[in-house]
Structure 1
Amino acid sequence: MHDTTLPRDLEGIHNFRPVGPYRVAGGRVLQPGKVFRSGALEPMTPADREVLERGIGLRTILDLRHPDELAQGPHPLSDRVIRLSIFREEWRQEDLIAELNGLYGPGPSPRRYLHYLEIGGDRLARAFELFAEEERYPFLVHCTAGKDRTGVLIGMIMDVLGADPADIAHEYGLSDASIDRLLAYLRASGRQLEGTEEEIRARLATPPERMAGFIELLHEHHGGAEAFFRKQGVSAATIDRVRELLTA
């Protein structure tokens, strides 16, 4: 169930796409055109800006990146950006990655994603609360690749809405189509990528079973995304409002 009328694959921005439509709880549908996702926005072209600003009418850009990733400077839509790193600003990103690699091995994994909730759960909750504000839509969520931090937040929102875990996993897996463009972006921005080409691509891949594993762990350890957000202080009214605004 996918809407092909909404824009995808912008010229300069990798891993851009709308989220939805997907069937969710109560026979409702996650409405297309409300939430979009992508990788870094700094490489946007004038044509990309036209799509985002006039074609979509984008009002809010939620940037989940750590300050250490922001060396490339602003982009033309910076006036719409809310910066909300899910990892604390006082931590060096290099140290954080080394710690995560020590705990879970290099590259993403379901348990690594679950650890995001331990070290950045309050940040994820604050990000979720923004989706209860009607004036912020249409809404774009992004990080550097648009697949890990963005994928965890989008997956948790879909879980709150009651999406089928298979659809949450499918949505995550769509980022695989952008690996070549992500690699080009990382190299152009001076990122040093360790390992062989095969190892690098494996780290950048988004197999659906990885997100499925995270959603399973989310329910096993926290009772699901709604229960997790409630423990972080998100009100029942806010959760209901997000459901109301995102589904029809």
Structure 2
Amino acid sequence: MNTPLSRHIAVAGAYNIRDLGGYRTPNGETAWRRILRSDGLHRIDAEGMAMLVEAGVVTVIDLRHDTECATQPNPLAGHDAVRYHNVSLFADLAPTGTSSGDVLLDLYIKALDERGAAIAQVLTLIAEAQDGAVLFHCTAGKDRTGIIAALLLALAGVETTLILEDYALTATMIAPMVEELIAGARERGVDPEAFMPLLAAEPVTMERTIAHIQANYGSVEAYLAGIGLSGETVAKLKNRLSGE
């Protein structure tokens, strides 16, 4: 009897490594151990790296910016069994004054509208990756990672309610690292009180993000076409998500 796969992959030094498999779609469910989302991997040791490779990880896409990568290097960047890519998803984007009352929503919308080329690059890397699991991550595995995960799940036909649940699960997963994140913000001269809203993972934020795509682009698939993804690349993403 096969042991059911776990959504959370427990690796010492990481808090939020999760499988995007097992979500209902019109044609069944998303495939397990094909696409993983994660928080930063800079704390994991050789044993942790071996666990990820054993879980099938062959491609890692680091969504952090240059300073994050320099100060907290990804240990898998030079691993013989892994192809490592760094695509700064937000680049110079930063939370600013909010027009919606939700600073993260404004940031996500700005990323979708202004960072289409980077999003297309990430999704193309996932589509073109060799057989095995692709792991993409940022620092907390919430914002940059959350946008890519939501686009992938929506493309697979996962209903919005489940996409929101996947997004919101991060709040529970990163709870043990909140103090570390606040300390890091304080070191950068950021007011901890002002930083706290950036740690949220409220379902309504992702719900409104998806609504923005539908209202302004028509659908996720139309959005992807608009940022330059070919039909062939979209088909490869769907195949990877379905396990074909």
Question: The TM-score by the shorter chain falls in which range?
Answer: 0.7 to 0.9
Aligned to 1:24: 25
Q: Indicate the percent of aligned positions where both proteins have the same amino acid.
A: 27
Q: What is the deviation of 1:131? A: 2.1
Aligned to 1:38: 38
Q: How does 1:1-248 map to 2 (within 5 A)?
A: 4-5=5-6, 7-25=8-26, 27-54=27-54, 56-79=55-78, 80-88=83-91, 91=92, 96-97=93-94, 100-104=95-99, 108-135=103-130, 137-187=132-182, 189=184, 190-196=187-193, 200-248=195-243
**Which AA in structure 2 matches 1:84?**
V
**Which AA in structure 2 matches 1:195?**
P
User: Which of 16-25 and 68-77 deviates more?
Assistant: 68-77
- When the two structures are superposed, what TM-score results if normalisation uses the length of structure 2? 0.85
Q: What is the deviation of 1:74? A: 2.7
**Which AA in structure 1 matches 2:217?**
H
In structure 2, C-alpha distance between the alignment counterparts of 1:58 and 1:243, rounded to whole Å: 19
Q: 1:231 to 1:212 in 2, by over 3 A?
A: same
Q: 1:146 to 1:5 in 2, by over 3 A?
A: closer
Q: 1:43 to 1:188 in 2, by over 3 A?
A: farther
3-state SS in 1 of match to 2:89: coil
In structure 2, C-alpha distance between the alignment counterparts of 1:6 and 1:102, rounded to whole Å: 35
Q: What is the deviation of 1:134? A: 4.7
**Which AA in structure 2 matches 1:61?**
V
- When the two structures are superposed, what TM-score results if normalisation uses the length of structure 1? 0.84
In structure 1, C-alpha distance between the alignment counterparts of 2:103 and 2:191, rounded to whole Å: 15
CA displacement 1:107-153 (0-9 Å, x = unmatched): 74333311101221111011111222251530111011110011001
3-state SS in 1 of match to 2:136: strand
Q: What is the deviation of 1:49? A: 1.6
Q: What is the deviation of 1:52? A: 0.8
Contact 2:40–2:138 (CA under 8 A) maintained in structure 1: yes
3-state SS in 2 of match to 1:218: helix
In structure 2, C-alpha distance between the alignment counterparts of 1:205 and 1:103, rounded to whole Å: 15
Q: What is the deviation of 1:233? A: 1.7
Contact 1:64–1:149 (CA under 8 A) maintained in structure 2: yes
In structure 2, C-alpha distance between the alignment counterparts of 1:221 and 1:168, rounded to whole Å: 19
Q: 1:195 to 1:77 in 2, by over 3 A?
A: closer
Structure 2 residues not aligned, in runs of 5+: none
